[in-house]
Chains A and B, each alone.
Chain A
């Protein structure tokens, strides 16, 4: 009998090797661990600290914390404050209008991408992605130039004699809305395009062959199949515009108060961290409520995707 040397049992893998093996295995939450760790440090832990500020009475004496007791005082004050209701109502209606307008302007673009030729598709992609290459602040400043008293819009309107005095657009809610829609439009268009082009291109032709008009095809085939894209796009645009800070701050002229600018003022100017903490919490919870609603509606219209081999 030949002498068979069994391969020696490998040395116990080191911790680094073990972790790397797990990360690359693609199982469970392991691959997400690096991201989770970063988020823990930069988002979750600070947020918990911030929250704890909102729910405790802190007595400070000579620069040192003397006592901390749990308290709902800040939350109840906030909820009974009319300013909070007005501000959140404004934030919510601004975010919802932005989402609705982004859908109204974005959907036709995505439709054009779907039915258009090769060059139409390329042009749409370039025009959609190009604005994302400049920062939101830069794009917001561009609106100052366009909408200002001596901006492009007013100069043109005066030159063609439609108005005598420049319209006051800057520092109004309209300027904020215009800026918001323009800045968030790509975020609506891209998921729509991604979802729409996922389906068999022949579906449109089939529907026409079966007697549907273009409108019929849009209503019965393209629209139902783009629901996941509408859901994703709306969720992204809503979240971004509900929590936006830069656009209202710059185009609203500093006197347009929404939830984000309110938190900024509470934390940076009045140094009321506890108030800021409670405001942040309300912002987050209300945002989640809307997101869950969007998800529920979207799920309702995509039940067919979950009908598999029953």
Chain B
């Protein structure tokens, strides 16, 4: 475990959240950027703020870091209100999207910056810097300048630079954006393992759902300044609480249906329980739908488009009532890919995995 700030912090019960964001709102002029956002992050947990650009995720991160003040609500770390704590006194480490390494300082001095500012004795500081560089496997790069490093190395310097100050909360603002696609995937796994090994409590901001699914213990999906759902990746993916979350995470198809007496009838004749009444929206994931070549089923459609996604073929099926449904089929399942405009029959594999939302 990483050391917390000295003093009463250690007396807090271990079940208490490390970071508590309580009903935070933030406005810029007439625009409300954050509205009533609440989130708790427990010890050693990685929580991702996921949402499209402009949803307020970076704003929330900047409020936690102390770059911006909140208009209402509170931010507590280890039970202490951070409102009066200036940015340079918060036990928070930020890794920026651009890394923002000091271009005029060597790797050694970049990583040692926080310790130099805290006035730590040189010998102790250099031990900690060496340890941090070892943690991110950059030993031997001490005398390089940021311009002499690759993107991946720069990112590791940025991480080592906040690690040395042993922050209570690590904040990562889209740290993979500047990397190319291939390196990104590798760094995601590497960074998650590193954070877990160090036992750091972290908030991770991204707009990339795959990144969120890889990195997080829990995901907070944000929409227009509000947190829509907070849940572990599996739950977010399998049981999205709103149509917005279902649409944002993974591929999904929606169609309208009528709920009568606690039941919704799916187009293929199966039924699904619901608490809603009246017109509803039903959502199904592509892997929960099955395609058979034109047969006798109730749910008929034609192939409008198909594309290869690795081991899967994704079909867009246009149904009789004009809805496009996305279906994923394993390559092996069909001897040959269905041709565009072929007639097919659709069915739901497990109705329980379909979600129903109010229209």
Chain A contacts to B: CB under 8 angstroms: 199-200, 202-203, 205-213, 216, 220-221, 224-225, 302, 304-305, 307-310
Q: A225-B103, A304-B103 are in contact. Are A209 and B98 (CB under 8 A)?
A: no
For residue A207, which residues in chain B have a CB less than 8 angstroms away from its CB? 102, 113, 117
The total of interchain contacts (Cβ-Cβ below 8 angstroms) comes to 75
When C-beta atoms are compared, the residue in chain A nearest to B113 turns out to be A210
| Residue from the set B90, B117, B147 with the largest chain A CB neighbour count within 10 Å | B117
Contact B117 A210 (CB under 8 A): yes
Alpha-carbon distance between A304 and B148 when the two chains are bound, in angstroms:
10
Q: A210-B161, A213-B88, A225-B104 are in contact. Are A205 and B67 (CB under 8 A)?
A: yes
For residue A200, which residues in chain B have a CB less than 8 angstroms away from its CB? 98, 100
For residue A202, which residues in chain B have a CB less than 8 angstroms away from its CB? 96, 98, 100
Could you list some 15 contacts between A and B, CB below 8 A? A205-B96, A205-B100, A207-B102, A208-B87, A210-B88, A210-B165, A211-B117, A211-B165, A212-B88, A221-B102, A225-B104, A302-B104, A304-B105, A309-B148, A310-B148
For residue B104, which residues in chain A have a CB less than 8 angstroms away from its CB? 224-225, 302, 304
The secondary structure that dominates the B interface is mixed
Answer yes or no: B118 CB below 8 A from chain A CBs.
yes
For residue A224, which residues in chain B have a CB less than 8 angstroms away from its CB? 104
Interface string of B144-159 (1 = CB under 8 A from A): 1101100000000000
For residue B165, which residues in chain A have a CB less than 8 angstroms away from its CB? 210-211
When C-beta atoms are compared, the residue in chain B nearest to A200 turns out to be B100
Q: A304-B145, A307-B145 are in contact. Are A209 and B102 (CB under 8 A)?
A: no
When C-beta atoms are compared, the residue in chain A nearest to B114 turns out to be A210
Interface string of B203-243 (1 = CB under 8 A from A): 00000000000000000000000000000000000000000
Of A206, A225, A302, A308, the residue contacting B96 (CB under 8 A) is A206
For residue B94, which residues in chain A have a CB less than 8 angstroms away from its CB? 205-206, 209
Contact B93 A209 (CB under 8 A): yes
Answer yes or no: B65 CB below 8 A from chain A CBs.
yes
Contact B65 A211 (CB under 8 A): no
For residue A203, which residues in chain B have a CB less than 8 angstroms away from its CB? 100, 102
Alpha-carbon distance between A162 and B72 when the two chains are bound, in angstroms:
52
Answer yes or no: B133 CB below 8 A from chain A CBs.
no
Alpha-carbon distance between A205 and B67 when the two chains are bound, in angstroms:
7
Query: Apart from A304-B106, A304-B145, A307-B148, what are 16 other A-B pairs with CB-CB below 8 Å?
Result: A199-B103, A205-B65, A205-B100, A206-B96, A209-B65, A209-B67, A209-B88, A209-B162, A210-B114, A211-B114, A220-B113, A224-B104, A307-B144, A307-B145, A307-B147, A308-B148
For residue B114, which residues in chain A have a CB less than 8 angstroms away from its CB? 210-211
Alpha-carbon distance between A174 and B207 when the two chains are bound, in angstroms:
61
